[in-house]
A and B are shown apart, each in its own frame.
Chain A
Amino acid sequence: MTYRDSDAQTAKRITTLSMLVAMGSVMYLLESLIPFPLPVPGGRWGFSNLVLLLAVNGLSLRDTLYLAIGKTLVGGLLTGRLGTPGFIMGISGIVASALLMWLLSRSRLFGMAGISLAGAAVSNLVQLFVAAWLIVRSGEILFLYPYMLLLGSISALINAYIAHEVIRRIGDTIWFD
């Protein structure tokens, strides 16, 4: 069997994605132990989105979405929340936010802080809209948005700072070279 370049690339891609999904899932599990002070089902700080920030600059859109969905599915399995309303809200939010963060990152106009803050804001917004339209069928839950925006921005800035420091040291092309 001959060894081709594309085989090595595929192997690297799968390894990279698996590693990021594993990291994200563990962070998802650990952050669910930190109390979240708002009455939102499945409410979480969003620290596991750090892996998305690390990866978004080097991954294709497809792999970014794989990573977002992968870490939420595995994290959902580990926390036993798979399929609950809070989980459905969370996964909708994370897919929307991964899409937005990828676009903002490709635009090359924004820094880590802006990408992270925008991602958190959109994730929370989509979460609450999914709850309002599909689950509770009442707009009242949207009253929580300003509070979530505040808390989400705190963790988004912490994530952005860590991601920035990590990427400053290891470079943002490490995933695909």
Chain B
Amino acid sequence: MKFLGKFDWLIIVILILAAIILFIPHGQSAPIAEIYHDGRLVMTVDLRVDSHFNLEGMEIAVSGGRISVVDSDCPDRICVNQGAIDRPGIPIVCVPNRVVIKIPAGDTQFDAITQ
């Protein structure tokens, strides 16, 4: 079997296209974070105000416009090790606790801010 066949370029082109499309920037970030549990929005946090609270076994802190999980009862503690986020992109996801913390991208967020 060859290392690189003629049709392999097809796969490579598809993967590169997929990566480019998915990497397109998500727009301006709004200074809020949304916290989802089991897929439902349970909390919207203003990132301009420092705060500290507990949710679903996780200790979450907002400081200087960034949100992070300070402590969690989950086994891998991937969410804690990920550190703070302050822009759309990679959300903080705690799979064992079924919690997602994301900073939503532009557009749709003005409603949330002006509320």
Contact = CB atoms under 8 A, between A and B. Distances in A.
Contacts of A41: 76, 78, 95-96
A84 B90 contact: no
Interface stretch (B16-24, B54-62, B107-115): B16-24
Interface string A111-141: 1111001100100000000010001111011
Interface in B2-26: 2-8, 10-12, 15, 18-19, 22-23
A141 B89 CA distance: 10
Contacts of B5: 109-111, 113-114
Contacts of B102: 140, 143
Nearest to B82: A39
Nearest to A132: B39
Contacts of A167: 1
A138 B95 contact: no
A126 to B, nearest CB: 15
Interface stretch (A7-15, A44-52, A68-76, A146-154): A146-154
B92 interface: yes
For the side of the interface on B, what is the size category?
35 or more
B100 interface: yes
B100 A141 contact: yes
Given A85-B95, A85-B96, A143-B90, A150 B19 contact: yes
A117 B93 contact: no
Interface in A129-177: 131, 135-138, 140-141, 143-147, 149-150, 153, 160-161, 164, 167, 172
Interface of A: 38-43, 57, 84-86, 89, 105, 109-114, 117-118, 121, 131, 135-138, 140-141, 143-147, 149-150, 153, 160-161, 164, 167, 172
20 contacts: A39-B90, A39-B93, A41-B76, A43-B78, A57-B1, A84-B76, A85-B95, A110-B8, A111-B5, A112-B3, A113-B3, A114-B5, A114-B10, A137-B38, A137-B98, A140-B91, A143-B91, A144-B90, A146-B23, A164-B2
Interface of B: 1-8, 10-12, 15, 18-19, 22-23, 36, 38-39, 75-76, 78-79, 81-82, 89-93, 95-96, 98-100, 102
User: Which A-B residue pairs are the 9 nearest by beta carbons?
Assistant: A114-B8, A137-B39, A111-B5, A146-B22, A111-B2, A39-B82, A164-B3, A41-B95, A114-B11
Given A111-B4, A153-B15, 17 more contacts: A41-B96, A43-B78, A84-B75, A110-B7, A113-B4, A114-B5, A114-B7, A114-B12, A121-B18, A136-B93, A136-B95, A136-B99, A138-B39, A138-B100, A140-B102, A149-B18, A150-B19
